[in-house]
Amino acid sequence: MSLFEVIRPLFPCRKFAVLLLLSVTAHAHGTDIDLVALSNGKAMLIVDGKAPKNYTIGTNITSTIKLIAADRDSATIEIDGKKQLLQLGRTSLQPSMDTGNKKIILQANELGHFLTNGQINGGSSVRMLVDTGASFIALPASEAQRLGIDYRNKGILARTSTANGVVPIYRVRLDSVKIGEIEILQVDAAVHEGDLPITLLGMSFLKRVTMLREGQQMTLTKKN
């Protein structure tokens, strides 16, 4: 089951897919709170790696943590009377202590998926799902537009097979893709104008790093 299939029933509104782009993690009183998405005054949170859950304003997240506000770009939680702002697009990666090849370590979520934040063409943060089954980095059209990628004029129109059948895509080449310490230049990508809910970190990037999975951790190391 995909991440989108799990989340979609919680936010049935179709335009929610546009908001499922980024996440941020807060650490409060030993509790990890991952902000996945925002829609209509509601916040979807993953608490301590559990399945995503929809919270409304005024709802208690734990006995000491409460959701007190949510808008298009952020959510505010209250911890023992103190407010903490969670903004979409800010997250942290576990850094490598190795001084050799550049690497990052990703932690699987409750569903076994590896998600990470990165930058495309040096722009703002992009939430990505590691997908070894995708030949290229795949971007929703809304995300490409947000990043200023002129895919219709500069891309090559093509078609690809998906679970929903054959769909049109635009092939583009990204100047750079950066995740943590790893930056790869000139990366092939595909822009989808269909219902792609999140950017997929596909093999056009992954083939240029070494991937090592150990249990719930995945280490990506830039090749020399």
Q: Please provide the average confidence, as pLDDT, over all residues in the chain.
A: 78
Position 28 scores a pLDDT of 47
- pLDDT band per the 50, 70, 90 thresholds, residue 126: very high
- pLDDT band per the 50, 70, 90 thresholds, residue 38: confident
Position 87 scores a pLDDT of 64
Kindly state whether residues 58 and 107 are assigned to the same domain.
no
Kindly state whether residues 103 and 183 are assigned to the same domain.
yes
Across residues 96-100, what is the average pLDDT? 44
pLDDT tens-place string over residues 41-88? 788 877 766 777 889 999 998 888 899 998 877 788 888 778 887 765
Kindly state whether residues 101 and 44 are assigned to the same domain.
no
Look at residue 174 and give its three-state secondary structure. Answer: strand
Position 17 scores a pLDDT of 33
pLDDT at 156 over 60: yes
pLDDT at 167 over 60: yes
Tell me the C-alpha distance between 41 and 70, whole Å. 5
- DSSP letter for 206, please: H
Q: 156-195 burial, b for 16+ CB within 10 Å, e for fewer? A: eeeeeeeeeeeeebbebebeebebbbbebeebebbbbeee
Kindly state whether residues 19 and 126 are assigned to the same domain.
no
- Percent of the chain topping pLDDT 90: 38
Kindly state whether residues 18 and 46 are assigned to the same domain.
yes
pLDDT at 6 over 50: no
Across residues 9-30, what is the average pLDDT? 41
- Token readout for 73 is 């770009």
Kindly state whether residues 83 and 119 are assigned to the same domain.
no
Across residues 158-175, what is the average pLDDT? 85
Kindly state whether residues 165 and 120 are assigned to the same domain.
yes
Across residues 109-116, what is the average pLDDT? 89
Look at residue 17 and give its three-state secondary structure. Answer: helix
Kindly state whether residues 83 and 100 are assigned to the same domain.
no
Position 88 scores a pLDDT of 56
Amino acid at 127: R
- Pick 172 or 46 by higher pLDDT: 172
Across residues 93-112, what is the average pLDDT? 68
- pLDDT band per the 50, 70, 90 thresholds, residue 143: very high
Domain that holds residue 104: 94-222
Kindly state whether residues 75 and 185 are assigned to the same domain.
no
CATH, residue 141: 2.40.70.10
> Which of 38, 62, 87 represents a domain boundary (last residue)?
87
Nearest to 123 by CA among 149, 156, 95, 102: 149
Kindly state whether residues 74 and 118 are assigned to the same domain.
no
- Pick 210 or 23 by higher pLDDT: 210
Spell out the residues 6+ positions from residue 71 whose beta carbon is closer than 8 angstroms to its own: 38, 41
Position 30 scores a pLDDT of 53
Look at residue 6 and give its three-state secondary structure. Answer: helix
pLDDT at 100 over 60: no
Kindly state whether residues 118 and 205 are assigned to the same domain.
yes
Count of structural domains, the chain? 2
Across residues 126-132, what is the average pLDDT? 93
> Which of 65, 87, 109 represents a domain boundary (last residue)?
87
pLDDT at 93 over 60: no
Position 187 scores a pLDDT of 96
Kindly state whether residues 35 and 102 are assigned to the same domain.
no
> Which of 87, 106, 134 represents a domain boundary (last residue)?
87
- Token readout for 170 is 């635009």
